[in-house]
Chains A and B, each alone.
Chain A
């Protein structure tokens, strides 16, 4: 683990997060930014493996940084670290390509554990998120509501099944037991769902950009 981008405007919290990151990844080199602008500049200059991104920043939203990082460095894993736990913040972040979503006030040990889990490729998925993902893809599958020229991204039956279990409140290990699959296989399904969510939303964004005449190429 080499380079980590840390975007956080509050100095105390940034310091705390830095200490925490160093605890999980002792060898890492941490690049700190307090604004969206600085973070975007860093993305063009450095290649990151992990990015810890706050959402509410003085000059914009961390979602833009997540999207930019996804575009410029697809292998980098963005983890949103925020105080907002509502769907209005969470879902756009996931669509932009965030791989994890951590709440700031969690005790240090929880934080460490979740960060480790994410770095090992196991993204978080709550029932609320699962419900939104199901609704999102259900809408995508209705041709009359889907904008034209949009690549059709849909979930497989298994992915859908996993989402349905999650939406009912079952944890990933429980679902693994129910479907007679390993915990890692379930995690892979979830990762795949995240990827599709991101692909779909990016295609949508591109189409919207084209519609608005923002495409420069």
Chain B
């Protein structure tokens, strides 16, 4: 699974590789293009040295084959060098002919039949750098003969030793004469592939590099971003040497600066790979810095005559450094088992192959292709690696945003929780204070009023007053309970009522039949409802004991959806009617009804002499009961 993911990641990097391959193919295709029929190719020239204004015909000259690479034909000589080519105007040709010179390094003047017709730029220091610029010279019809034309080319260039790369040493390619239209097309194509494409890519990667550098600047801990940005910019600055024709310095200084530039580039590549792989080391940084200082020193010490040898030795060392660091970096990525390994391995291997090819070309083990492969492919590799880093950065940004969001929501949750707790605590506090106050009032009532009533109960001569005081005390106690009490389960209330009722009736010798729901009673009863109901039931039982003369009493409690019903029924004498038709007030019927009304319920009394009494209390559930 893991390997498969890595592989698919590697496959997704095939695009850029294909692009590089296309470039290689394009360069090969350009090389093998068939010559046009009307175009003649001049493959040899008479050559002689000299700074004269015209071809020194009096000097000894020799015939050489074109292209003429100075590194082979005259390894120790500088320019200028004169070339004389002879040609006949092609038959049936277009009205306007041109000479196309694919490569002059570094610059050339062209004379036709002794008249100067073209100059590529400055022929003295600083010499115009035309090594990568193809030259198209229009041949004026008036100067042309049908046969025996001479084309003299004065080439200004440098020996291999005075430049840092083989591409910069003096060289004249074959010269082709043909119709202007045909050759102009070829020239434009060559210009595009050698210069314009490079400029476009450089511009694009410069923007990318600047952007990554900016990101690195804003995020200092992501050092690899900074190094990558600098590396891209450095590479592009160095690339500019291929298409910048006019330099403010002479050739020696320019080549030395290029060499120093490469040492800095190598240092940046090493630093980028090390920081990307999390392998940075102070020692390596110090070595790189020393190297950047040593490169110009050794070059100056060796002198301009050995620039190529010394700079190529340095380049070789730098290539080795980059390769070692690449291996170190890839090893670290392999061990980290991240997604980076495969794409980076492919990219870096490609880079390695290109660099080694380039090195081989410098030592002339390998013919240089017509396109500067490294210059074209390097920006592509840089873009790919840069895009990869931007993607990682984007993902990190997204992750940070997500983390921030989740943190925010967690903070909000915590705040809400704290607020809830605070409210709860405040409520609890209020509850506690209220409870404390209730208890204080209850205590005061018991201690003062209670003690006085009690004294009356036990000292009064009159049984009536004693009973009244006892009832008052009982009332007070119930009131206090209503004051202090919390809601209690209906089941507990039923148990208390049952215990008291059964006990009292039992002591009075009255048979009791109590029925109430025993299971599944989950409702709560407010303290007030409990107290009032207790009083009503107590009064009813008192009536049964005192007045009914009953031998049997039935009590029924039922809990419905809407209401609670309590029925007390005895088999006694019933309650005698008063003269006005109302039930006896002495039996406390009025107070029972009043209490029931207070709880939005009702208390019905059915009684008649001879058939006992039925007291039916109905209370609505959900209001008074669960207050």
Contacts and interface: CB of A to CB of B under 8 A. Distances in A.
Contacts of B481: 86
Given A86-B481, A126-B499, A171 B454 contact: no
Contacts of A169: 494-499, 502
B506 interface: yes
Contacts of A12: 455, 458-459
Contacts of A128: 492, 496
B540 interface: no
A83 B450 contact: yes
Contacts of A174: 502
A42 B531 CA distance: 40
B98 interface: no
B496 A13 contact: no
Contacts of B439: 88
Interface in A37-65: 56
A13 B455 contact: yes
A105 B453 contact: yes
Contacts of B499: 126-127, 166, 169-171
A146 interface: no
A13 B456 CA distance: 10
B506 A171 contact: yes
Interface string B552-564: 0000000000000
Nearest to A131: B492
Looking at A13, A83, A128, A173, which has the most chain B CB atoms within 10 Å of its CB? A83
Nearest to B455: A12
B477 A171 contact: no
Interface in A152-179: 166-171, 173-174
Interface string B449-482: 0110111011100000000011001100100110
Interface string B389-425: 0000000000000000000000000000000000000
B458 A170 contact: no
B503 A105 contact: no
Nearest to B445: A83
A128 B488 CA distance: 11
A166 B502 CA distance: 12
B518 interface: yes
Interface residues of B, number: 32
B520 interface: no
Contacts of A88: 439
A10 B457 CA distance: 13
B454 A10 contact: yes
B446 interface: yes
A173 B498 contact: no
Contact of B454 (A83, A85, A131, A167): A83
A105 B454 contact: yes
Nearest to A130: B495
A84 B454 contact: no
A169 B447 CA distance: 30
Contact of A16 (B446, B458, B473): B458
Contacts of A143: none
A56 B447 CA distance: 8
A104 interface: yes
Contacts of A171: 499, 502-503, 506
A107 interface: yes
B500 to A, nearest CB: 8
Given A12-B458, A13-B454, A83-B451, A168 B503 contact: no
B14 to A, nearest CB: 64
Given A127-B492, A127-B496, A168-B495, A105 B457 contact: yes
A85 B477 contact: yes
Given A10-B454, A83-B451, A126-B496, A105 B473 contact: yes
Interface string B419-451: 000000000000000000001001100110011
Contact of A105 (B474, B497, B498, B502): B474
Contacts of B173: none
Contacts of A56: 443, 446-447
A14 to B, nearest CB: 10
A83 B459 contact: no
Contact of B446 (A83, A131, A170): A83
B607 interface: no
B479 to A, nearest CB: 13
Interface string A9-47: 010110010000000000000000000000000000000
Contacts of A107: 470
Interface string A86-105: 10100000000000000011
Interface string A71-82: 000000000000
Nearest to B439: A88
A126 B502 CA distance: 12
Looking at A56, A127, A173, which has the most chain B CB atoms within 10 Å of its CB? A127
B618 interface: no
Interface in A185-208: none
Contacts of B497: 169
B469 to A, nearest CB: 8
A173 B512 CA distance: 13
Nearest to B452: A10
B454 A170 contact: no
A215 to B, nearest CB: 31
Contacts of A84: 446
B383 to A, nearest CB: 66
Nearest to A10: B451
B226 interface: no
Interface string A124-146: 00111001000000000000000
Given A10-B455, A83-B446, A171-B506, A127 B495 contact: yes
Contacts of B47: none
B135 interface: no
Contacts of A13: 451, 454-455, 458
B159 interface: no
B518 to A, nearest CB: 7
Contacts of B442: 86
B326 interface: no
A12 to B, nearest CB: 5
B502 A104 contact: no
Contacts of B473: 83, 105
A127 B516 CA distance: 15
Nearest to B472: A105
B263 interface: no
Given A104-B457, A131-B492, A169-B499, 16 more contacts: A10-B454, A12-B458, A13-B451, A13-B454, A13-B455, A86-B481, A104-B454, A105-B457, A105-B474, A107-B470, A128-B492, A128-B496, A167-B495, A169-B497, A169-B498, A174-B502
16 contacts: A10-B451, A12-B458, A12-B459, A13-B451, A13-B455, A56-B447, A104-B454, A104-B457, A104-B458, A107-B470, A128-B496, A166-B499, A168-B498, A169-B497, A169-B498, A174-B502
The 7 closest A-B pairs by CB, nearest first: A169-B498, A169-B495, A127-B495, A16-B458, A169-B499, A83-B450, A105-B473
